[in-house]
Amino acid sequence: MVETGKTIAFFGVGQMGAPMIARLAAAGHQVRAWNRTPDKARAVAGENVQAVEDPRAAVDGADIAISILSDGGAVLSLVKDNDLAGTMSEGGAFIDMSSTRPEEARELAEILAGGGVGFCDAPVSGGPPGAEAGTLAIMAGCDEALFERIAPVLSAMGRPTRLGPVGTGQLAKLANQLIVGAAIGAVAEAVLLVREGGGDVEAFRDALTGGYADSKVLQMHGGRMAAGDFAPRGRAALHRKDFRNILDEAEKLGLSLPMGDMLFARFARLCDELGGADLDHCALFLELLDTNKKP
């Protein structure tokens, strides 16, 4: 499905953006990389990748713009403050791969439509390893015609799936984050239970391989919990933000999500009380350890 030869403006050169740019460049696309900190964009410049300092210059004449920023507010600011709707070519496409709120995706679509630019919210799951391998799960919200047009480009970074109209990609990502957060919480408790009971955590993870309880969270994050490795791959503060968005969306839909409430409280405690905002989200294990402190 990979298509070559597109000119792509790419906004956000972080842990996810940098390897995604590399995948696009390797597929033959011409990428114009922009980051709020220009040095990060310069660091990825090379074959098929040009660093630019002006967002408007990045999208001028580009076929597609892609953003992966910290939150919806950052994407909206980028688009509004630089009049990207008026700068992009009519008929172009803007793909936001950040984790935002569904309502922010719909607002972006409305703004860009004013300039004749199509919009797709396409958040991802898989973290930096998935970005590097080009195996990201890509959850797209847009009309079918636009999806067919951008799917070859998205396929250079992973496996795109259309969920429905604009906003449904972000809704799927919120659901994804609910599952991941719940899995991290369950794995943390399982690791603690086995460790405190005298079991070998590595042997425990090996024993569960291939069973119903096996998962990437168990194998990757479980190992990191046991090793005390909480260097950030996916920051706890971002997962706290995701849970706030999950609960806000549930409230709009008239839904009660008891597990979501509990996990939001735990991530908030990790970030705000225990100073873990910049640790990896698997540092929820540290919040559990603090809860189980002996008097």
Write out the catalytic residue numbers: 173
C-alpha 256, offset from chain centre = 24
| Backbone angles phi and psi of 220, in degrees to 5 | -85, -60
- C-alpha distances out from residue 233 to 102, 126, 211, 257, Å: 24, 11, 26, 27
Neighbours of 163 (CB within 10 A): 19
Query: CA dist 171 to 201, 264, 284, Å?
Result: 35, 17, 23
CB-based contact 178:281 (threshold 8 Å): no
Residue from 127, 262, 238, 107 nearest 185 by CA:
262
Distance separating alpha carbons of residues 233 and 267, to the nearest angstrom: 16
Helix, strand, coil percent content, the chain, rounded in steps of 5 = 55, 15, 30
DSSP state at residue 197:
T
**Cα–Cα dist 149/40, whole Å:** 29
C-beta separation of 160 from 120 below 8 A: no
